[in-house]
Structure 1
Amino acid sequence: MSAILLLVLGLGGMALGYFLYSRFIAKVIYKVDENFRTPANEFEDGVDFVPTNKFVLWGHHFTSVAGAAPIVGPAIAVIWGWLPAFLWVTIGTIFFAGVHDFGAIWASVRNKAKSIGTLTGEVVGTRARSIFTIVIFLVLLMVNAVFGVVIARLLINNPGSVVPVWGAIAVALVIGQLIYRGKMSLPLVSLVGVVALYFLIYIGPSVPVSLPEQVGGLSDNAAWILILFGYAAIASLLPVWVLLQPRDYINGLQLFVGLIALYAAVLIGNPTVVAPMINQDVPAGTPSMIPLLFVTIACGAISGFHGLVASGTTSKQLRREPDARFVGYFGATGEGALALAAIIAATAGFASLADWQAVYTSFGQGGVLAFVNGGATILSQGTGLDAEVAGTMLTVMAALFAGTTMDTGLRLQRYIFQEWGEIYNVKWMSKAAPATLLSVGTCLLLAFGAGGADGSGGLLIWPLFGTSNQLLAGLTLLVVTVMLVRRGTPTIYTVVPLIFLLVMTLYALLIQLKGFYTKGDWFLLTLDLVVLVAAILVSLECIASLRRLKQERQQSGAS
């Protein structure tokens, strides 16, 4: 089958979702108000609360949520065949992710830009907040610890990507100054930034950079992880306009240029999808597609991490409430387009079915390498681009997005510690610097405490990321639904996605629980139980809150 068909149907459906469905959600469900004073304007401080152009803010939001996950998940899930992955990414983007991301921004903006965890305490109750923050903290810990490993391995496997990955930081610093200090035209700055970034990508293979195999007694992998966390700690403390915003914005433009190039190569080269539509001959040990498909593909269909970004950093920068539709829903659409590209690269970037099967020998295979290698093949065959440059471009794309997600994730983890400091009256913890040190310390404790000198301990709890992340998305939709009930607004458009997510995620958690018990993996078994119990308790608290609202309305109607 031609990959062009997947491209046209997928992008066409997502475009209709943004132009039609999101407009309905904005007008009828969330009822966004042009005259509502957003927290960015009310609490402007030049550090975290910064009223921002919606295109720049979209770049921040999109690249913060579009890490390696929308590449890894779909490129693994195609082991069940391209059709299930394609349907879940397309339908999930339109009816799940867009509503979720848009809703999380709206809910936070309507409540002084409070995070979804803090908001849970006010909308549902303090017990729900305490339990919910445990899940949030675990998700952030997983994302930060694992993405450090992912970026380190990408830099080691492709030394030509080191210069463009780190050079992008310098480009972003300059762009931030040009936009906010120099007041230069955004289109001009954007053009300069994209040209500079792609120039670095072009010269990257000519100046490969590798660390020695041993650095101060540590492996090169461990050294890169320490360097990355050192950078992320500094980035999380800087005002958002200095580095976070411009880096995310220019990376967003870089991604779209990369996606346009990849999609153009598909249209020109017309590659054939060699993977089966539904794989009837999956490798031994591959888990059941239902429910595991819906937690393997999280980012790219719907992701709870998006709610953390939406209510953690994005809501503090929203200049106008109607911008939430563009930033949130279209941000989810952009990530859906990335997930679609990963599906095409991982199914049409191989010469034959036998070559594809040689990669997908067991569940968990594929991932970033399938995307990079398959995408580079499509690019070189469709456009004539040098295969090494194409591979570097896609590697840099993956590394930059993992990096921006890590930047934002560490800042969000810092917010969690600061909120805990305020809630429990631990004054030193409520300050930015100590909270950042705690955030980095917990990540490194997991990385090196569980992974040894290599620093890859984050991978130990990664099997729980998919379920924890999707659970977080369902619980975020629960909080948004409670807000809609209080406003007397129709809730079916959030209730259907949240019921589906909670059912599939709880089912997957139970399957994983059995698997961990069979393997004797007591650490993951314990964490699985913690997440499972937390999910049930928060759900019960939300149901109780909805019942109280219903009773209050009945009593008010009777009187």
Structure 2
Amino acid sequence: MSAILVLVLGLAAMAAGYFLYSKFIAEKIYRLDPDFKTPAHEFEDGVDFVPTNRYVLWGHHFTSVAGAAPIVGPAIAVIWGWVPAFLWVVLGTVFFAGVHDSGAIWASVRNKAKSVGALTGDVVGKRARSIFMIVIFLVLLMVNAVFAVVIAGLMMNFSSAVVPVWGAILVALVIGQMIYRRKMSLPMVSIVGVVALYALIGIGPSVPLQMPAEVAGVSGNAIWILLLFGYAAIASLLPVWVLLQPRDYINGLQLFVGLIVLYGAILLLNPSMIAPAFNDNVPAGTPSLLPLLFVTIACGAISGFHGLVSSGTTSKQLNKETDARFVGYFGAVGEGMLALAAILAATAGFASLADWEAMYTAFGQGGVNAFVEGGAFIIHNGLGLPEATAATLLTVMAALFAGTTMDTGLRLQRYIFQEWGEIYNQQWMKKPAVATLLAVGSCLLLAFGAGGADGSGGLIIWPLFGTTNQLLAGLTLLVVTVMLVRLGRPMWYTLAPLAFLLVMTIAALLIQLRTFFDQGNYFLLGLDIVVLVAAILVALECVSALKRLRNEAPAKQE
């Protein structure tokens, strides 16, 4: 099949989702109010609570939630064939992710920008809050520890990406000053930022910076990880307008430039989908498509991590409540477009089926490498851009998204420790610097305690990321659903995705439980049991909360 047809169908479905379905959800279900005073105005402090232009906030939200996961997940899941991956990415984006993300923003904004974890205690109950906080901590621990390994690996393997990846931080600092101090027009700032970023990408191959394999007995990979956490700690303490917002905004723009380049190359080259539509010849040891497809793609269709960003940083910067539709739902569409690009690069970016099969020799293969190599092949043959330059462009794209997610993730982890300080009345934990040190320390403990000297410990628990992340999405939808029931509004638009996620998550956990037992991996086996118990408790909390609310009169409509 022509990749152009797949591209057009995918983009058309997502466009229809935004222009039609999200409008219905925003106006009839969430009933977003342009006159509601958002927490960004009510608690404005110039650090975390900052009323923000919706386009800039969209850039922050989208690049924070995107990361490398919507590239990695779909590019692994095509091992079952491109049709199942394509259908779940498109349908998940339209009916699951957009509703989830915009709903999390709305729920948080209506409750003084509380994180969805803290909000659970008020909306559902203290038991649900305790479950939620454990799941949130695990997800953030996985994301921060693993993305540090991903970025470090990219910089070790692609030395041409080092200058643009780190140079993007300087560009973001300048952009922040131009927007907030110089009050320059956003279009001009956007042009300057994108030109500077792509100039760095052009310079990268000419100035490759290679970290030595070992420095003073420490591996180069470990040094990159330490540097990344040092940077992320500083970034998490800075006011959002100084670095976080402008870095995310410029990265959001460069994603669209990157997608235009990749999509444009597909239109010019018109490659065929080399991979099978449904793959009956999967490598030995590949798990069943159902339910593993859904937890493998995860962020490419719906992600619980999005709920953390929506309620952790985005809700504190929302200028008008009606912006939640553009920022939240369209942010999910942006991630769906990235996942679609990953599917096309990983299935149409190979010269032959034999080349594709050589990439996918076992379950878990492909990922970022398939995206970079397949995408570079398409861009080179479609646009004539040197393959090394195309590979650098896509590598920088993946690294920058992983970096912005890590920035936001560490800030969110700092919020979690501060919320624990609030819940358990521990004043010392509420201090930003202390909470940041605790966040960084827990990540480094996992990275080096479990992974040894190279700092790759996050990869050990990564096999459980998909299931834990989907469980977190279910918890977020539970909070939103309970709020809707209390207000006497239709609940099926959130309850149906919630039920689907819980069924798939519990089924996937049971399959993984058997796998870890057969492998003798008792660490992951124990962790799987913890997450499985949490999933069952969430299901019970859903039934209990909704049953209880059936007998209560709806709250006054807002």
The TM-score range, normalised by the shorter chain, is over 0.9
**Post-superposition CA distance 1:340-373 (Å, at most 9, x none):** 0000000000000010001101000000000000
Amino acid at match of 2:249: Y
Deviation at 1:534, TM superposition (A): 1.4
| Residue in 2 that maps onto 1:33 | 33
SS of aligned partner of 2:299:
coil
The equivalences for 1:8-407 within 5 A come to 8-407=8-407
Shift of 1:553: 3.2
1:499 alignment partner AA: A
Match of 2:456 in 1: 456
For 2:478, give the aligned amino acid. L
How far did residue 552 of structure 1 move?
2.4
Amino acid at match of 2:277: M
More off after superposition, 125-134 vs 290-299: 125-134
Q: Counterpart amino acid of 1:449?
A: G
Q: Is the 8 A contact 2:502 2:539 kept in 1?
A: no
- What TM-score do you get using the length of structure 1 for normalisation? 0.99
Q: Which residue type is aligned with residue 335 of structure 2?
A: E
Q: Structure 1: how far apart are the matches of 2:215 and 2:409?
A: 27
Please give the alpha-carbon distance, in whole angstroms, between the structure 2 residues aligned to 1:284 and 1:546.
43
Distance of 1:542 and 1:286 partners within structure 2: 33
3-state DSSP of counterpart to 1:299: helix
Aligned residues: 556
Q: Post-superposition shift, 1:541?
A: 2.3
For residues 162-219 of structure 1, what are the alpha-carbon distances to aligned partners after superposition, in whole Å with 9 as ceiling and x for unaligned?
0000000000000000000000000000000000000000010000001111122110
Q: Which moved more, 1:146-155 or 1:471-480?
A: 471-480
1:474 is displaced (CA, Å) by: 1.1
Report the AA paired with residue 529 of structure 2.
Answer: L
Greater displacement, 280-289 / 537-546? 537-546
Counterpart residue number, 1:547: 547
* CA distance in 2: counterparts of 1:240 and 1:169, whole angstroms: 13
Instruction: Tell me by how many angstroms 1:387 deviates.
Output: 0.8
Read off the aligned partner of 2:129 and give its amino acid letter: R
Q: Residues 505 and 535 of structure 2 are in contact (CA less than 8 Å); yes or no, is this contact kept in structure 1?
A: no
Residue matched to 1:432: 432
Q: Distance in 2 between matches of 1:87 and 1:550?
A: 35
Q: Structure 2: any 5+ residue segments left out of the alignment?
A: none
**Deviation of the 1:406 alpha carbon:** 0.2
1:108-135: per-residue Cα shift (whole Å, max 9, x none)? 0010000000000000111210111000
Separation in structure 1 between the aligned mates of residue 396 and residue 223 of structure 2, nearest angstrom: 19
Matched, 1:516 2:521: no
Q: How far apart, CA to CA, are the structure 2 residues paired with 1:525 and 1:503?
A: 20
In structure 1, what residue type is equivalent to 2:454? D
Deviations 1:477-528, CA, capped at 9 Å, x for gaps: 1110000000000011111111111100110001111111111111111111
Is the Cα contact below 8 Å between 2:4 and 2:270 reproduced in 1? yes
| Moved >3 Å (runs of 4+) | none
Q: What residue identity is the alignment partner of 1:326?
A: F
Following the alignment from structure 2 to structure 1, what is the Cα–Cα distance between the partners of residues 544 and 12? Answer: 41
Q: Give the 3-state SS of the residue equivalent to 2:36 in structure 1.
A: coil
Partner of residue 528, structure 2: 528
1:106–1:324: 8 Å Cα contact kept in structure 2?
yes
**Matched position secondary structure for 1:363:** coil
Q: Which residue of 1 aligns with 2:469?
A: 469
The aligned runs of 1:490-505 (5 Å cut-off) are 490-505=490-505
Instruction: Return the alpha-carbon distance in structure 1 between the equivalents of residues 114 and 85 of structure 2.
Output: 34
CA RMSD of the aligned region, Å? 1.1
Residue 14 of structure 1: CA displacement? Answer: 0.1
Return the letter of the residue paired with 2:483: M
Unaligned runs of 5+ in 1: none
Question: For residues 327 and 144 of structure 1, what CA distance do their matches in structure 2 show?
Answer: 23
**Counterpart amino acid of residue 444 in structure 2:** L
